[in-house]
Structure 1
C-alpha cells in the first residue's frame, strides 16, 4: 500500500517533466536574423547576427533561465572553452528570455565576463523553434538548443538537449570543422 502514493507521485513527476524540443532549423537552413540587446561583463551591448557573421562563425546557444543549475553549469563550460572558440575564429552568444538586468548580472557572475548573453524575444524563440513547452503549453522560455552558424548564414550544426553537458563539445567540434576564416 505504501507504493501507491509513490507511483502516483512518480507518474505526476513524469507528466510535469520538461520534454526537450526538437529544433526545426536543420543543418543547411538559413539562420533567421537576430538584432537584440544583451550584456558582456555586465555592460549592455547590441547584437546583430548579420554583422557578427562578417567576423566569422557564430555559436548561438539558447538556454531556459539564468541562474538555474543547468544554465549556470553550461555558462561555466562555455566560459572555460572561450580560448578554444576564439582560436577557431568563432563568437559565442548565449540567448534567453531573461530581462537585461538579469543578463547583466549573469554575464559577470556565471559567464565570467568571457562571452555575451542576449535577450531572445518571443519572435526569436519562435523563428529558431526553441520554445520550451510544459504540458503542451508555451512557457515563454527557450529550450536548450545550440546552433553553429557559418559566415554564409547557414546553420552547420544543431544540438537540442536539455542536458547541458554536450553543447560545448559539439559546437566547438563543428566550429573547428569549418576551419579558421
Structure 2
C-alpha cells in the first residue's frame, strides 16, 4: 500500500522524481543494506523509470479535436464551456491535469495564470480539465488559477477518454497533457509530460507560430 501511494505521489509531484533518483543512487553504493531496504530502493527506481517515459497521447498534430461541452468555473463562477464556441474566437489551449490543489497542478495553474496576457495577445484562450467536481474547481479557479482562465470538470472522464488523456494505471485521474487546437478544430500541438514545467512554454510557442502563419 505504501509503495502504491508513493508512486502516485511522485506522478502528481514530478519534481520528487529527481530527489528519489538521487537518493537511490547514493544508497546503492552502500554495501550493507537489508532486503527490505533493497526492495524499497528497487521500487523507487521503477517509479523514476516510469516517469521518465510518459505515455504518448493518441491525438497528434493534424488530428480532429473531439467536440465537447463541460461545466466550468472562472473565478468561482460556474458556466457551460463549449469548445465549438471558444474556437470561433481563436485557438484554444486545452490542458489536462491530474487533480486540483496538488503540488504539480497548482504550479501549472500558476504558470498559466501568469502567461494569460501573452495568450490573449495571440487571440488564444486557455481551459484546464480534470476529474475534480465543480465545487472543488470553484475554489481552485479562484485561488490557484487566480481568476485568469477557466477550469472544467470531467467527472465522468468521457472527455479525458476522447482525448486519450487518462493517466496510465490510475484511470480516475487525467494525465498531464496539453493540446493546442486551431479554430478549424485541428490539433496543432500535443505535449505530454508529467513535469508541470514546459506546458506553458510549448503551448504559447505553438499559438505564436499559428498566428504568424495566419499573417503570411
- TM-score class, shorter: over 0.9
State the match for 2:124 in structure 1.
90
Instruction: Please tell me whether the aligned partners of residues 21 and 131 of structure 1 are also in contact (alpha carbons under 8 angstroms).
Output: no
| More helix by percentage | 2
For the residues of structure 2 that align with 1:68 and 1:21, how far apart are their CA atoms?
A: 21
Q: Between the two structures, name the one with larger relative contact order (CA 8 Å, sep ≥ 6).
A: 1
1:129 counterpart = 2:164: yes
The count of corresponding residues between Structure 1 and Structure 2 is 178
For the residues of structure 2 that align with 1:15 and 1:140, how far apart are their CA atoms?
A: 22
Instruction: Please tell me whether the aligned partners of residues 21 and 130 of structure 1 are also in contact (alpha carbons under 8 angstroms).
Output: no
Counterpart of 1:142 (choices 161, 166, 174) is 174
Q: Which has the larger radius of gyration?
A: 2
State the match for 2:196 in structure 1.
164
What root-mean-square deviation, in Å, do the aligned CA atoms of Structure 1 and Structure 2 show?
1.6
Q: What SS does structure 2 have at the residue aligned with 1:141?
A: coil
1:81 counterpart = 2:115: yes
Shift of 1:104: 0.5
Counterpart of 1:151 (choices 167, 179, 183) is 183
Structure 1 unaligned blocks of 5 or more: none
State the match for 2:38 in structure 1.
7
Instruction: Please tell me whether the aligned partners of residues 29 and 155 of structure 1 are also in contact (alpha carbons under 8 angstroms).
Output: yes
Instruction: Please tell me whether the aligned partners of residues 66 and 103 of structure 1 are also in contact (alpha carbons under 8 angstroms).
Output: yes
State the match for 1:26 in structure 2.
60
For the residues of structure 1 that align with 2:73 and 2:149, how far apart are their CA atoms?
A: 9
Query: TM-score when scaled to structure 2?
Result: 0.78
For the residues of structure 2 that align with 1:46 and 1:6, how far apart are their CA atoms?
A: 51
For the residues of structure 1 that align with 2:45 and 2:150, how far apart are their CA atoms?
A: 34
Structure 1 segments, 4+ long, off by >6 Å, are none
Query: TM-score when scaled to structure 1?
Result: 0.93
| More strand by percentage | 1
Structure 2 unaligned blocks of 5 or more: 1-31
Q: What SS does structure 2 have at the residue aligned with 1:60?
A: strand
